[in-house]
């Protein structure tokens, strides 16, 4: 019987190409809530390894929810733009 690990998985309207998931890691590598070149390299290299789903590190949506000054944020257009850059790179390399 073939392994299900490499078979697609449907999650509502999204279909993952396989069932390999990279869990979130507490890297605390953000700069003022922004993703940086480090995230492009780190998450980009993980994306190139071929998981079906890739999580980022911890993200706060309001300053009161921040754990550390190095957490990532999704609470402004500027921080959203830094995510778009990294997600865009990952999608381009491994759609």
* Structural domain range at position 95: 30-95
Q: Is residue 5 part of a domain?
A: no
21 in any annotated domain: no
Six-digit token pair at 49?
Answer: 């390894």
Q: Is residue 19 part of a domain?
A: no
Distance CA 14, CA 86 (A): 20
Other CB atoms closer than 10 Å to residue 57's CB: what's the count?
A: 18
Q: What pLDDT is attached to residue 93?
A: 75
Answer whether residue 95 is part of any domain: yes
pLDDT of residue 88: 95
Ranges under pLDDT 50 in the chain: none
Q: Is 68 among the domain residues? A: yes
Quote the number of domains for the chain. 1
Question: Is residue 25 situated within a structural domain?
Answer: no
The Cα–Cα gap between 90 and 22 comes to: 13
Would you state the structure tokens that stand for residue 33, as one six-digit string? 């809530």
Q: What is the pLDDT of residue 21?
A: 97
């Amino acid at each position: 019987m073939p392994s299900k690990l490499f078979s697609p998985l449907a999650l509502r309207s999204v279909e993952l190409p396989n069932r390999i998931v990279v869990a979130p890691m507490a890297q605390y590598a953000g700069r003022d809530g922004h993703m940086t070149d480090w995230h492009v390299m780190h998450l980009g290299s993980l994306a190139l390894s071929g998981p079906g789903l890739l999580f980022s590190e911890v993200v706060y949506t309001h300053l009161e929810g921040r754990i550390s000054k190095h957490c990532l944020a999704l609470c402004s257009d500027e921080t959203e733009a830094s995510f778009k850059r990294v997600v865009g790179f990952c999608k381009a390399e491994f759609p």
